[in-house]
Amino acid sequence: MRLSGQRRLAAYRSAVPVPSASGGFLRCRDYRRRDAVAGCIPLRCRRPGKAARRISNASQPWREADMVTVTVHSAGTRTAIRVSPGNNLLDVLRRHDFGVYAPCGGEGTCGKCLVRVRNGGHLTRNDVTSCRYTVETDIEVDLPDAAETEVLASQYERLRELPPEPGTAVAVGSAAATEDETATGTRPATEAGAPSTLSLPPATPIGAAIDLGTTTIVAHLADLKIGSLIETRTARNPQAPFGADVIARIHHCMTAENGLGTLRSLVISTINRLISESAVSHGLRAMDIVRVTVAGNTTMLHILLGEHPEPLAFTPFQPVFTGKKQVAAAVLGLNIHPQAEVHILPSFSAYVGADVVAGLAALDPESTPENYLFVDVGTNGELALVTPDKILCCATAAGPAFEGANLACGMEAGAGAICRYQSPDDWQTIANTPPEGICGSGLVDIVASLLRRGVIGVDGFLAEPAVIVPAARSRSESAAGSGLAAGSGLGRDILLTPGDVREVQLAKSAIAAGVALLLRHAGCRPDDIGAVYLAGGMGNYLQPRSAVEIGLFPRELEDRIIPVGNTSASGALLALKSERFGACLDEILSRMELFELSAHPEFLDEFAGNLAFPYPAG
């Protein structure tokens, strides 16, 4: 029996679900026990604050004379919005597609959804958190400039190479619909109306490979005749205002009116924009695109296809589908060739998605050692231990600290994010702009640096907030190298707080426990591992020395940590150019075994044992 939305919410608050280390959830009636259980961000683990209890007046009837105007200034544009008094400002901005960064999903707990509010041309206060601001009169709102999320190219010399197959340009499907094994049974892989071949293929057939990430969307455009990459474009996932992690997105789908439809339309619109801009910039038309491949985590793929992700939030965590799917572009809502097909790459489980499967398949088997670890350090840290006979994989709920969320001065990996750090005089930001905050790799460096200097104890004790970069003294100086000269671009100190250190302990302990138990279950020691491949954006900047100094990985693996970039996007691109890559995906899936961390009797002890930082070497 399905519960109503209100009854489900009541159930959440009486038995708070906490994500377990396998990507599942533990039941915990006291949200304060979360830190000792899983070290992650639970599905509404915090008691709802003022922002969570707000009641929107958007649906109440109001006379036009009683309405107020919210004038939004963003990226050089001015937009006037008429709303009824009593509306929450973040809700207003989200309804009109303004991408305010709100990693907590508007719960009033992260303090990141800052905007500047002016009333009658006068600044009412410095900055306000939009999720806690109620619109009562005419106001003007200044939105911060959106930083471009940094997405680096993969290390292609470590990836599989397959020659292009010109046939994929016109034969975008088989003559008959195939059957697809999914988690809930057998379903047709081709949706109704999807053609098997293009009746009139364009002279220059183009394909698009999409990596649909929780934080970032990447679109590769490629010439299908010769297999060359035309252009790569990226954008922040527009679902970010509804929460930084998949748990927040699932919650929005379950509780908001048309929540699933809203999130789906946002991501479809962004994919269409990226494809169109890439095509136009090279004198092409979006109608020339005849084939699309998509990789992403299981939740994002469910939302893309309009499948409700609610089953992913509750035991037994049964996805609606996991197998590969083939959908007509017109059915999906993509503005490309009307007969083009969209190929969704296969996932493995609820929390080991197509991004991991595609990433593993993209690695060149000729250049990988016999035993290696594949790690995507993110909110839902995905781990795979690859051996000659099997692939043990799991998801460990590390929380969003490594994505820059839940930190006093945290931010995404965009321009101005501190990505490398040695001391207040030696640091680097993405794009070499004045520092605005701390992203995941910078956080690891900062904690490692403070551990070396004794500012942070091995137990994680930090007496008071540590100044990482002081407030701006001369913003004309370079933002890289001379921290004291350049200073913070915020006009205030960039700090690391005791709470931030606690977030790092929880995140790194979840991953370290997962690595330790994977190795133990497979009968391997750290010395048996030939490489640790770090996938995702954070891996491009992560310093191996810092990673082992905070206890993220065993010290024996320091010289074997290798960044491989966005392997999910690389896998989608390989699938776009060669149908033979499908056999590579199938081979990976056939060897994968799910390792249930939460069910392992040693998990809690391993997790607790890894909370402390290692003693400094020497």
Domain ranges of the chain: 64-142, 156-354, 401-503
* Topology adopted by domain 156-354: Nucleotidyltransferase; domain 5 (3.30.420)
Tens of pLDDT, residues 160-216: 666 666 555 444 433 333 334 333 333 334 443 343 445 545 667 899 999 999 988
> Region 97-110: what's the mean pLDDT?
83
Most confident of 88-102, 190-204, 518-532: 518-532
CA angle at residue 139 from 136 to 145, to 5 degrees? 130
> Region 317-333: what's the mean pLDDT?
95
Beta strands per DSSP E along 52-125: 68-74, 77-83, 87-88, 114-119, 122-123
pLDDT at 6 over 50: no
pLDDT at 344 over 90: yes
> Percentage of the chain with pLDDT > 70?
76
> Region 239-264: what's the mean pLDDT?
93
pTM: predicted TM-score of the whole model, two decimal places: 0.80
For the CA atoms of 414, 417, 421, 423, what is the dihedral angle to 10 degrees?
160
CA angle at residue 106 from 416 to 240, to 5 degrees? 50
Same fold, 64-142 and 156-354: no
Exposure letters 225-247 (e unless 16+ CB within 10 A, then b): eebeebebbbbbbbbbbbbbbbb
Most confident of 41-55, 348-362, 386-400: 348-362
- Pairing of β 426-429 and β 437-438: unpaired
Please choose, from the candidates 591, 568, 546, 490, the residue with its C-alpha nearest in 3D space to the C-alpha of residue 297.
568
Most confident of 241-255, 446-460, 531-545: 446-460
User: Do the Cβ atoms of 378 and 552 come closer than 8 Å?
Assistant: no
pLDDT (0 to 100) of residue 98: 87
How many other C-beta atoms lie within 10 A of the C-beta of residue 281? 12
pLDDT at 106 over 80: yes
pLDDT at 516 over 60: yes
Task: Tell me what the pLDDT averaged over the chain comes to.
Answer: 81
- Pairing of β 372-376 and β 531-535: parallel
- Write the CA distances from 97 to 79, 270, 275, 311, integer angstroms: 11, 11, 19, 27
Most confident of 15-29, 89-103, 219-233: 219-233
Span between the terminal Cα atoms of the chain, in Å:
60
User: Do the Cβ atoms of 350 and 336 come closer than 8 Å?
Assistant: no
pLDDT (0 to 100) of residue 616: 84
Please choose, from the candidates 495, 466, 470, 465, the residue with its C-alpha nearest in 3D space to the C-alpha of residue 483.
470
How many other C-beta atoms lie within 10 A of the C-beta of residue 542? 24
Distance CA 428, CA 426 (A): 7
Q: Is the dihedral of CA 15, 16, 22, 24 positive or negative?
A: positive
Please choose, from the candidates 397, 474, 445, 471, the residue with its C-alpha nearest in 3D space to the C-alpha of residue 543.
445
Q: Place domain 64-142 in its CATH homologous superfamily.
A: Beta-grasp domain (3.10.20.30)
Beta strands per DSSP E along 214-335: 216-223, 229-236, 289-296, 325-328
Identify the weakest region by mean pLDDT among 140-149, 421-430, 476-485, 564-573: 476-485
pLDDT at 569 over 70: yes
Distance CA 318, CA 350 (A): 7
> Region 470-480: what's the mean pLDDT?
49
Distance CA 523, CA 518 (A): 9
pLDDT (0 to 100) of residue 154: 46
> Region 571-588: what's the mean pLDDT?
95
pLDDT at 325 over 60: yes
